[in-house]
Amino acid sequence: MGARLRVGRQGGAVTSYRGRFAPTPSGALHFGSLIAALASFLDARRAGGEWLLRIEDIDPPRCPPGAADTILHQLTAFGLHWDGPVHWQHGRDGAYSAALERLAALGLAYPCSCSRKQWRAHPIYPGWCREGVCEPDKPVAWRLRSDLGLRPVVWEDRLFGEQRFDPAELGDVVLKRKDGLWAYQLAVVVDDAEQGISDVVRGHDLLDNTPWQRQLQHALGLPEPRYLHLPLIVNREGQKLSKQNLAPALPLEDTEVRPLLHRALAALDQAPPEALAGAPVSEQLAWAIHHWDPRRIHPAVNRSE
C-alpha cells in the first residue's frame, strides 16, 4: 500500500504519512505504552509512511538515568524499529524560545505569577495576570491566552469523531514553567511541526490536550496533524496503566515478548489468529501491518487490561 498523501492546512507542499511515538523517559514502558507505540507503528507502516521516535525529556527531575535506554531496548525487543535518528527534546530550547516569543508578540502568551493554590476555587485559571503580572516580585510562568479564539476548536478524531471545545472554557495552559522548564503543550507542537508529523496516534488521556495544541498550531501558522486517540488500558481497579500506578515493565525476553505482542494486537481489536501467539515478532508484525484497520477499534474510552 502506497503512502497516503495529504495537503497541510496552510496549503503547502503535499507530504507523505509521517507518524511518531513520543514517550517521556520517566520509567520503563508498560502494556499501555505498548498499545500506543504499536498502534502508531502499524498505522504508519500500513500507510507506507515513516515512524519516528521522540524522547520527551524536557523535565529532567522526572527522567531517571537509564530510563531512555530501557525504552529503546524495549521497542527493539518488540520489533518496533523507528526511522532515522532518535529526536531528543532536551536540546531544543532555542526552538521553544522562538515559538514563545512569537506568541508573546501576537499577544497570545503572557507571564503569570499566580500559584495553583491561589486559584484552586476555580475550575480553570481565571486569567488574573492577562493584563499584567499580579505579583511582579515573584517568579513567573508563561501561559497561552486561550480565550482569544474566534471560533470553537473543532477537529475530527479518527476514532471518536467530531470534537468541539469552547475556547473560553479551556483555561490558559502553561507554556513555560516558573522553574524555567518548558511545558508539554508548546514543546509537542513545535516538535511535531519540526519533524513534519502528519498523523498523531496516542492515548485518549491526551485528547483534552489537543484543543490547546490546535490553538498553538493555528497561532504559529503550523500544519495541523490528523489525530487518532486510542482507548486507555486500565487495571482491575479502573486506573489507567501508568508508572505511577506501578504497571509492570515490558519484558525483553523473546519468550515473554511474543505472547504479549499478540495480546496487544487483540487489545487493539485486530483479531490476530491464535496460531500467531507464539510466532516471532517479525511474523506477527508482518501480519498486523497487512491487516491493520483502526476502524475495528471499539471507541470505548477505557478497557480492561
Q: Which of 46, 12, 4 is nearest to 293 (CA)?
A: 46
Q: Which of 126, 131, 140 is nearest to 170 (CA)?
A: 126
- Provide the 10 A C-beta neighbour count for residue 176: 20
Q: Which of 221, 99, 212 is nearest to 149 (CA)?
A: 212
Is residue 240 annotated as part of the catalytic site, yes or no?
A: no
Residue where the block lists cell 484497520: 293
What one-character DSSP code corresponds to residue 144?
E
Who's near 180: CB < 8 A, 6+ residues apart? none
**Which position among 176, 178, 240, 243 bears the catalytic label?**
243
For every residue of 227-289, DSSP letters joined together read EEEEPEEE-TTSPBP-TTTTPPBPP-SHHHHHHHHHHHHHHTT----GGGGGS-HHHHHHHHH
Give the DSSP H or E segment for 304: strand 302-304
Taking the C-alpha atoms of residue 14 and residue 5, their distance in angstroms, rounded to an integer, is 6
How crowded is the C-beta side of 74, counted as CA atoms within 13 Å? 24
Residue 212: helix, strand or coil by DSSP?
helix
The answer to whether the CB of 178 falls within 8 A of the CB of 139 is yes
- Report the catalytic residues: 243
